[in-house]
């Protein structure tokens, strides 16, 4: 009986101290910051053709992409079929959405680091299938600045 009480107490304490996943805690921090207009440098790296255009300077206002400028100062082509992968990560909210998706959460390897102030992901490495080649995805967010 004593062991059952101790085990139950351990589970309760563990549940209270967990307080949610690192992803959800940081997403909450991002939402609490209520930044609606911002700019950041986005790098999406994979076995893809647009790697030479990274990082992109992305401006977002009210959840919508205002502009995406590549490393050469050119507008990133939003109508290019290859741009779909970039567009899925073109706002902080979209990055959080993708990180919470089943394919990412079920990946063989997933590492994430977060900005201590705003909570957005700063570095993400995803290896969907450990033994498969060319399925890895890396996302980097740098140079974040809130705008008026």
Q: What pLDDT tens digit does each residue of the chain (148 aa) get?
A: 555 544 444 444 444 333 469 999 999 999 999 999 999 999 998 876 666 778 999 999 999 999 999 999 999 887 776 788 899 999 999 999 999 999 999 999 999 999 999 999 999 999 999 988 778 999 999 999 999 9
| Residue 28 vs residues 41, 59, 65, 118: alpha-carbon distances, Å | 22, 21, 21, 9
Residue 123 pLDDT: 97
Find out whether 127 and 107 touch, Cβ atoms under 8 Å: yes
Cβ neighbours of residue 51 under 8 Å, at least 6 residues apart?
45
Helix or strand run (H / E) with residue 131: none
Distances (CA, A) of 103 to 58, 108, 123: 25, 10, 18
* Residue 68: burial class (beta carbons within 10 Å; 0-12, 13-18, 19+): buried
CA 47, 124, 42, 27 torsion-angle sign: positive
- The neighbour count for residue 30, using CB atoms within 10 Å, is 20
**CB 43, CB 55: distance < 8 Å:** yes
């Amino acid at each position: 009986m004593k062991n059952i009480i101790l085990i139950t107490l351990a589970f309760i304490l563990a549940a209270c101290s967990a307080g949610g996943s690192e992803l959800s805690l940081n997403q909450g921090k991002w939402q609490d910051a209520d930044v609606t207009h911002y700019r950041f440098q986005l790098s999406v790296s994979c076995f893809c053709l647009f790697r030479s255009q990274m990082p992109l300077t992305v401006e977002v206002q009210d959840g919508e992409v205002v502009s995406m400028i590549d490393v050469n100062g050119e507008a990133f082509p939003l109508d290019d079929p290859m741009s779909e992968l970039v567009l899925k990560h073109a706002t902080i909210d979209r990055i959080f959405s993708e990180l919470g998706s089943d394919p990412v959460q079920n990946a063989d390897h997933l590492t994430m680091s977060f900005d201590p102030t705003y909570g957005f992901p700063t570095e993400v490495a995803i290896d969907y299938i450990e033994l498969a080649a060319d399925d890895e995805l890396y996302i980097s967010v740098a140079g974040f600045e809130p705008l008026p």
